[in-house]
Structure formats: structure tokens, C-alpha cells
Amino acid sequence: MANLSVEALDGNRAQPYPGAPDNWKRFFSFSTDHKVIGIQYIVTSFIFFLVGGLFAMIIRGELITPEANLVDRTIYNAMFTMHGSVMLFLWTFPVLVGLANYLVPLMIGARDMAFPRLNAAAFWMVPVVGVLMMGSFFVPGGPSQSGWWAYPPVSLQNPTGNLINGQVLWLLAVAISGVSSIMGAVNFVTTIFKMRAPGMTFFRMPAFVWTVLAAQLIQLFGLPALTAGAVMLLLDIVAGTSFFRPENGGNPVLYQHFFWFYSHPAVYVIVLPVFGIFSELFPVYARKPLFGYRVVAVSSLIITGLSGIVWVHHMYASGTPGWMRMLFMFTTMSISVPTGIKVFAWVATAFGGKLRLDTPMLFAMAGVVNFVFAGITGIMLGSVPVDIHVNNTYFVVGHFHYVVYGTVVFGIYAAIYHWFPKMTGRMYYEGLGKVHFWLTWLGTTLNFLPMHPAGLMGMPRRVASYDPEFAFWNVLASLGGFLLGLSTLPFILNMVSSWIQGEKAGNNPWRAIGLEWLISSPPPVENFEHLPIVIAEPYGYGKDEPLVSNLAELAESPG
């Protein structure tokens, strides 16, 4: 069985330079193939997803009772700090970069990314970030305990007095992660602008490519602010400067501006590619063109623009004057217009189609519904008077977990299932996929919905202990959290067993329209022997028109 598969796939696994490993070992090498790098990103980040999930379950274990009685308060604080940091810097960012890495060159008809070595270098910084983050558990004083925002002055406090402490390692990790992301962003933007196949105009690019472009542009304008803030904070800790140190005249609120100037747009870096995934999947499983494709595509760039002028909504309750609160309330709410356009477009795409509820579509549809819910609570949070009550409460925690789990993780799962046959040449098990979906949906609802009432009642976020009036909702949330932990098991089982011995999938098991589906599964090194010549817009479902003019040439590509 195993022999057979290796033989069958042999032709695809040649490397572009001599002496490179041509088997599973290539995933542990400095490969410059964007498909290998994409899978490296996805698998590495999934491991950190499990680590971050473990931290979350310790948090939920502590919060299942009102008293702080499972772990010490310092450990609890380290847990939520590392949970947030790992989930963002080592899971959502890299896994989406991984998907984009795998898909963008295929979708635009390129043989690889514009800078393959830069691409590999950017990936190999991710394990370094991971080692630094995990290593911080073993330095005196333990890992950072100042939350993933690392607001000074708390982040400047150093109880052990050691120069090498958890906060310093955390800042180094964040800075390296930022450099990696900037390298990735330069590569993606260049690839999308310069490497498109003949005929692949901007308005023939799949919506996913548009969203990746929109997201990576944010990285380019936003990350420098965060990196600068992180460097100044690092200097305050190790070099005795006082950018943010109030006792020497520094301004701690200034850090909040640096931090959120990037970290709010970062939410769109995360969610835009997921919007792209929804835009790709809805047409395939509804057998209809994406409704209003051009508007959907352009709305991504509008979101990019607006994302840069909303950051103060994280600071309504901070030292923010009234006029600033009002200004940023208006800009924040305006973001709901371009996102609304996307949501309505997906709904209209599904409406009147011929729906097939395979696992990817289940995840995509549930992701959209969760996103609508998160969007509504987001508008509530954008309203200054409401935010003054619920800011820094569990209402916010519930809201953004509906975004990062209910929407983003659902979208990532949808994408992994959808493109799994392309990546591996084999089909996943549909039954296990459905089990995974229902467990994930139930766990998400049980975990994150009860956070909203707890927050409205006044439960602050980041607490290790709380008043007994909040206990009911926290027990529900904790049960949901453990269920979410459990829900990863059928997924892992499915992925591993189908990759080893799943059914052969063929080139295009979903009968989807797109360049990646015209070539073999998995695609050969350098993807296209003959570059495709694109002659139509994407999503030509029901139109019976060819996507490329040289179909026969593509089909006879080796492999």
C-alpha cells in the first residue's frame, strides 16, 4: 500500500536542485518549493495550535470554579499570556501564510513565489519564534505574564531582576515574528503583482488572491509600528530608557497606540484570507458564480484602508479624550459596510444554487454565521457608551473568539479539507470530517457564547478568580473548551490516516474551477510546465466556458 503510493507520486517529488531529498524528508529541509513551505507552515502552526489549546484548557480548568485553586495566579497569568501569543503569532498568522503560500502561486498560474529563498527563510524563523516562546518557561521568573498586549508598566516590572526573563524573550520572539511576516508580505505582494500567468488580469484573480494581497499590504504598513513599540519596550527593560516608564516621565499610553496601530489591522490580516476562503468555497459547493465578484474583490482593499484608522476603539476606556472616542466610533462602524457586502454576497451565492454540504462547505457556512454574530457584537463594542461598560470584560473575549475561532479557525478547517486532495492527492474521510465539524461547532458555541452574558454582567477578562455570580456561565464555557480540545482528535486522525492510505482523489474531485484544479494532485515541482493562458473570470459555474485556452497542454504536464 505504502509502496504503491510512493511509486505513484514519484514523478511529482523531484526537487529543483540536485541532492535534495525527494521523500517525506523534504518537509524537514530548507526546501524552496512554495508547496513544501506551505505545508511546513500549516503543520508547524497546527502543532502550536495544540499547544495554545492546551494552555486554554488549563485556563478553563481554573475558571470552572470561582476561586483561584487549580494553579497559582502567576501561572494563570502566564497561561493566558502564552495562550494569546501562541495562538496569534504561532498559529493563525503562520497557518494562513501557509495556505496563501500553497495556493497563491497555483491560483495565479506561477511556478513559485517571487523570492523562493526569502520564502524559506521566512518560514524557518517560525520555529525560532516557537523555541523562544516555549523556552521562556524555563528562565527564572517564568514566561511573560503581562498578557499578549504587554502593556507597560506591568510589562516593565521584573520581579526576579534577571536580564534574561520571560518578557525579554517574548519581545524578541514578537520582533522576529514581525521580521518573518514582513519578509512574507514583500514576497506575496511582489508575487501577486509580477508573477501572474498570461491573461491573469487583476479582475481574473480568484477572490482569495485579492484578500491575501489586501492582508499582506496591511503587514507592510502596520508591522513597523508594532516592531518599533516592541523595540522601545525592550530598551525600557534592558537598557534603562524610559519611553513608557511613568516614574521617569515616560508615557505608557503611547505604547498602546503603537501596539494597536498594528494589532487591530492584524485582525484583518487574519480574517481577510478567511473571507477569501469563503469566497472560494461558496461557489464550488453551491455550483454558482461568486455573487458580485468584482465588488467582493475590491471590498477587501477598502477594508485594508479602513483598518488603518480604527485602532483607538481598543482604547475607549483608556486615557482617551471624548472627541477621539467619537471620531474612532464612526470609522470603526464604517468597516461593517465592506464586510457586509461580502457576507451578503456569500448568502446570495448560496441562494438558489445546488448545495452540497461536504465538510468544507459545512465549516464555511457555519463560519459565515459565526462571523455575522461576531460582527453584530463588534458593532456593539464600537459604540462608545456600550463599550464603556463591556470594555475589558468577557463580552470582548466572547466577541473576538467568535472571530478568531468561530470564523477564522472554521475557515482554516474548511480550507484544509477543501484543498487536502490537492495537497496530498488523496481524499479525506467524509464521515470523520462531519464528526469533527459537529464537535467543533458545539464546542465553539458552548465555549464562547456564555462569555457574552458573563461580560454583560460585569466579569472582567484575565481574572484567575471571580465572584460566584458568574459561575454558571463559566462552567458552560469550560465544558465547551474541553469539548473543543477533544474535537481536534477526529481531525488529526482523519488527516494522518487519509494522507497515508486515503482514496486517490484525482486532479479535481470537487469539479471546481480554478488553475490549481487543472494540474495533477499533488502538483509537480514548479506547478506548470506550460504556463496557463487565462481567458475568463474565475467562478464560471453554469456558464460552460473554458478558463484557459491551452487546457490540453496543461493536462499533459508530467506527473
Q: Which residues, 527 to 546, sit near another protein by CB under 8 A?
A: 539-543
* Binding track, positions 407-446, relative to another protein; x by CB under 8 A: ----------------------------------------
Out of 16, 159, 305, 506, the residue judged to bind another protein by CB under 8 A: 159
Out of 151, 221, 482, 499, the residue judged to bind another protein by CB under 8 A: 151
**What are the C-alpha distances in Å from 8 to residues 2, 4, 11, 220, 558?**
10, 6, 7, 42, 12
163 in contact with another protein (CB under 8 A)? no
The closest of 113, 103, 350 to 206, measured between CA atoms, is: 103
402 in contact with another protein (CB under 8 A)? no
- d(CA 99, CA 60) in angstroms, rounded, equals 30
478 in contact with another protein (CB under 8 A)? no
Dihedral sign, CA of 178, 132, 36, 435? negative
102 in contact with another protein (CB under 8 A)? no
Query: Quick one: which H or E segment has residue 93?
Result: helix 93-108
493 in contact with another protein (CB under 8 A)? no
199 in contact with another protein (CB under 8 A)? no
Stretch that binds another protein, among 138-146, 186-194, 419-427, 501-509 (CB under 8 A): 138-146
Report the residue number, 108 or 365, with the smaller CB distance to another protein: 365
Report the residue number, 199 or 453, with the smaller CB distance to another protein: 453
Is the bond leading into 522 cis (omega within 30 degrees of zero)?
yes
Report the residue number, 105 or 450, with the smaller CB distance to another protein: 450
User: Please, which of residues 234-293 interact with another protein by CB under 8 A?
Assistant: 246-247, 249, 252-253, 286-293
**Minimum CB–partner distance for residue 45 and another protein (Å):** 27
- Count Cβ atoms below 10 Å from residue 155 Cβ, excluding itself: 23
Give the binding-site size for another protein (rule: CB under 8 A): 105
Report the residue number, 194 or 543, with the smaller CB distance to another protein: 543
User: Please, which of residues 364-383 interact with another protein by CB under 8 A?
Assistant: 365, 368-369, 372-373, 376-377, 379-380, 383
Burial zone of 54 (CB within 10 Å; 0-12 exposed, 13-18 middle, 19+ buried): middle
N-term to C-term CA, the chain:
19
Tell me the DSSP string of 1-44. -HHHHHHHHGGGG--SSTT---SGGGGGS----HHHHHHHHHHH
Stretch that binds another protein, among 3-11, 108-116, 180-188, 318-326 (CB under 8 A): 318-326
Cell of 555: 493536462
User: Please, which of residues 337-356 interact with another protein by CB under 8 A?
Assistant: 337, 340-341, 343-344, 347-348, 350-356
309 in contact with another protein (CB under 8 A)? no
Residue pair 343/368 in contact (Cβ under 8 Å)? The answer is: yes
Residue pair 550/530 in contact (Cβ under 8 Å)? The answer is: yes
What is the three-class DSSP state of 143? Answer: strand
The closest of 131, 129, 108, 123 to 31, measured between CA atoms, is: 123
Phi and psi torsions of 460, nearest 5°: -70, 150
472 in contact with another protein (CB under 8 A)? no
* Binding track, positions 57-76, relative to another protein; x by CB under 8 A: ----------xxxxxxxxx-
